């Protein structure tokens, strides 16, 4: 994802915000913590693993929305490019997290 962002910035510099790496780092850490929380819930009680996944995703979403709110209140120039960068990265990180967790659940069903 980072390589794709650097490639896009080379061809179209206005498409990537100047705070891209802050967003990327925040979402990477947040996704890692949500994945660990959901994986711990799956391993502790496989019957309620889906609830652990949903809980982790909801907690991640709340922290992400808080980040956008705080950033937009602190920065007067919070613009559309920031929003598009943030939510595109959020969706990609969430996709990878869910795919990894579903792969773990699939192995438990066999």
pLDDT (tens digit per residue) in 39-83: 888 888 877 777 888 888 899 899 999 998 888 888 777 677 788
pLDDT in tens, 60-71: 899 999 998 888
The structure's pTM equals 0.74
Distance CA 93, CA 20 (A): 14
Backbone angles phi, psi at 45, to 5 degrees: -145, 95
Sign of the C-alpha dihedral, residues 34, 37, 42, 45?
Answer: negative
User: Distance between CA atoms of 81 and 25, rounded to whole angstroms?
Assistant: 17
């Amino acid at each position: 994802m980072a390589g794709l962002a650097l490639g896009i910035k080379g061809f179209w510099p206005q498409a990537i915000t100047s705070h891209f790496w802050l967003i990327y780092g925040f979402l990477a850490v947040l996704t890692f913590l949500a994945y660990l929380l959901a994986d711990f819930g799956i391993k502790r009680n496989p019957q309620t693993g889906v609830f652990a996944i949903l809980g982790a995703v909801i907690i991640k979403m709340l922290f992400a929305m808080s980040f956008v709110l705080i950033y937009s209140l602190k920065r007067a120039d919070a613009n559309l490019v920031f929003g598009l960068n943030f939510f595109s990265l959020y969706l990609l990180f969430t996709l990878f997290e869910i795919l990894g967790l579903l792969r773990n659940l699939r192995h438990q069903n066999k």
